[in-house]
Amino acid sequence: MLLWLAITIFTVIAVLAVVLPLLREGKPVDSRENHDAAVYRRQLDELERDREAGRIGPEEAEAARAEIGRRLIAADRREAARVAAAGGGFRRAATAAVALVGIPLIGLGLYLAQGSPGLPDEPLQARLGNAPDGKNISLLVGQVEDHLARNPDDTRGWEVLAPVYSRLGRPGDAARAYRNVIRLGGSTPARQTALGEALVMASGGIVTDEAREAFEASAESGAELDSDTAKARFYLALAMEQEGDSKGATTALHALLDDAPADAAWRPAIEETVARIERAEKDTAAALFAKPKKPALGPLRENAPSAQADAGPPPAATPTRGPSQEEMNAAGAMAPEDRMAMIEGMVDNLADRLEKKPDDADGWLQLVRSYAVLGRREDAAEAARTALASISDKEKRREIAQLAQDLRLPGMEEMTQ
């Protein structure tokens, strides 16, 4: 309500800015010629001073005086009484009418086309809610870090800090923290799974050997099947898929489903993944080069995290890559911002990896697509350019160029090779 009240007040002020000056006559128009004459008189004074100071010769001063004098006379002559043209009433009425109709029309029309009047501000403070006395979360993180630097054996501190690192998109730090937790507080399935997940995030979605060890520790702990051990088994299945063992992956996932209670919240996510792997299995090649159904080209809003899942990339980029976006979503019913941070972290890590090992065409394809989906179009274009420069396989280069063209990346529209 308040927003609309403010919008109304702003609009009224804008209209009044046009209408009020039309109502009052104000002081009469001073003629242009009076101004001119004042300037020329001043020029004459200055000329006199210049002549006294020797900055202009006497003859030249005389000539200049004549020049200025002529202009002065001309200005005086032009000083004819010029009054406003007739028809002032019409002009005022027309201007006022345009302002009365046009300003609200343009204002609301353009604003409603792009604005989101229903959305309140969401300052970080308000969203964090419980941040004490106005300190922001990073400051708090800093304090905990300081504390841990002095008391590196405080299990509780590391335990608090680890998930916060994950949420802040610092998976490497998160993994370090979880390792400390395990070292100091002992291994539990939940801790091992969390460590594994952080390592996966840190390596751009790849289930590394280290991560696999953590997941195995969790899955084989003998604990009852709960969301933590299930997640570990899920990632282990993904690891198999990444190594090209799609069969093994689906078998493992089916086994997981068999063990899972019928009402487990994470069942549908796993079923979806099984279906996806089986689909991908059938047509790996097609899936590899599939174009995104809906390249994220629209205005920024479409790239909002909520839209990520809908406008997501094609299912399963390559079988040897990290988990697809669906899996990432499935990986835990995460809050959208966590998901965002996680995806961001993965993509950035992939980029780092490619920087070190640039001759990886499939990696580049995935990176370009991921950037496009995230709306980082410049980065996508840059990645495509780097890829074209660093990949030796001609066929793969063509694919990358094609992808860049399809996504209409800036500066890449006319790529042919």
Q: In the window 305-344, what residues touch another protein (CB under 8 A)?
A: 305-306, 335-338, 340-341, 344
Least distance (Å) between residue 320 CB and another protein: 24
- Residue 288 burial (CB count, 10 A): 18
Q: Which stretch binds another protein (CB under 8 A): 123-131, 268-276, 286-294, 362-370?
A: 123-131
Least separation, in Å, of the C-beta of 153 and another protein? 19
Query: Considering the complex, what minimum distance in angstroms separates the CB of residue 79 from another protein?
Result: 12
Window 1 to 40, contacts with another protein (CB under 8 A): 1-3, 6-7, 10-11, 13-14, 17-18, 20-26, 28-32, 35-36, 38-40
The single residue listed with the structure tokens 């790849």 is: 206
Q: Lay out the site mask for another protein across 223-262 (x = CB under 8 A, - = otherwise).
A: ----------------------------------------
Which has the closest alpha carbon to 78: 29, 35, 27, 28? 35
How many Cα atoms within 13 Å fall on the side-chain side of residue 17? 7
Say what the alpha-carbon torsion angle 364, 368, 373, 378 is, to the nearest 10 degrees.
150
Tell the burial category of 42 from Cβ atoms under 10 Å away from its Cβ (0-12, 13-18, 19+).
exposed
Local structure of 360: helix, strand or coil:
coil
Closest distance of CB 378 from another protein, Å:
5
Task: Please report, for residues 55, 68, 101, 119, the alpha-carbon distance to residue 62 in angstroms, rounded to integers and kept in the order given.
Answer: 13, 10, 60, 73
Q: By C-beta, is 271 or 338 nearer to another protein?
A: 338
Q: Which of 64, 160, 223, 257 binds another protein (CB under 8 A)?
A: 64
Shortest reach from residue 236's CB to another protein, in Å:
28
- Pattern 171-190, another protein, x by CB under 8 A: --x-----------------
If the CB atoms of residues 254 and 385 are measured against another protein, the closer one turns out to be 385
Which residues lie below 8 Å from residue 289, measured CB to CB, with a gap of 6+? 399
End-to-end CA distance of the chain: 56
Give the shortest CB-273-to-another protein separation in angstroms.
Answer: 25
The distance of closest approach from Cβ of residue 305 to another protein in the complex, given in angstroms and rounded to an integer, is 6
- Which residues within the stretch 283-302 sit at the binding site for another protein (CB under 8 A)? 299-301
- Cβ atoms of 220 and 196 closer than 8 Å: no
- 10 Å CB burial of residue 89 (0-12, 13-18, 19+) is exposed
Nearest approach in angstroms of CB 56 to another protein is 4
Reading the block at residue 3, the tokens are 């927003």
If the CB atoms of residues 45 and 258 are measured against another protein, the closer one turns out to be: 45
Nearest CA-CA partner of 231 in 191, 180, 172: 191
Report the residue from 144, 154, 163, 167 that binds another protein according to the rule CB under 8 A. Answer: 167
Question: How far is residue 99's CA from residue 8's CA, in Å, rounded to a whole number?
Answer: 15
The interface with another protein within residues 189-228 (CB under 8 A) comprises none
CA–CA separation, 195 vs 178, rounded Å?
Answer: 5
The token pair that represents 78 in the structure block:
């032009």
- Number of residues forming the site for another protein (CB under 8 A): 109
| Footprint (CB under 8 A) of another protein, residues 81-120 | 82-85, 87-88, 91-92, 95, 98-99, 102-103, 106-107, 110-111, 114-120
